Structure 1
Amino acid sequence: MGHRDARHRGACTDEELKREVGPAEVEAAFAEHVADAERTVRRKVPNKALSQDQFDALVSFVYNAGWKGSENVLSLVDDGDFKEAAAAISRTIYMTVKTRRGSKQVVARGLIGRRAEESAPFRTTAR
């Protein structure tokens, strides 16, 4: 049986919602996604030695925002601009919601605290 990537954007299909998923499958998928985020950080930030807190914060950010959503932050960190990277992380608190007229960006309140934690290792070492 071939590998199927369960990550996708948008609502789950009825078929996906009916499929039972056990704890081992959830844990394996989570571990795979974390490993992907770790590889992305290592690949996109080759020029800077990161503290463990900085690496962990970037992995969390990449895991949540995706590699495209985190590209600018990773570039800023690799360039050594920790202050702007912290600011960019902190600004990433919006989500797109559908409206009757299309869609709009709204603040996802749950992301405010998460982004504060993810940006902290770059704020404290900003030069």
Structure 2
Amino acid sequence: MTQRKLYYVSISGKRIEPEPSINDQLTVLGTPDEMNKLQQQLDQIQRDDEITQFRAPIPYKSSEHDIATDKFNEDLIKVYHAIYELGTDETRAHIRQMNILAKLEDTDYNYPGYER
């Protein structure tokens, strides 16, 4: 069985590092295979982010219900779930405190004009 070790995940940098740095990082405990899968998820949100950035300069079209934005949010939820599952107690507490999973899953678009 492969031994688990500490890694440091930067959501904004979309990377996993073996040593802590000054960047915003969440600490996880995992095997190289688990880190490879997590890196693939981070790579996916990087691709999603690149697609959604092309939508930003279009001033007349709302992006709240854009397919690319929805995909980015879904993939970001998957990343946070994976980090939560692999996270240290401190990382899990931080994610719970952020309440990020609930916020991303409930976009609260129940206002007029946001119907699909």
TM-score of the two chains, using structure 1 as the length reference: 0.29
Larger helix share, 1 or 2: 1
TM-score of the two chains, using structure 2 as the length reference: 0.31
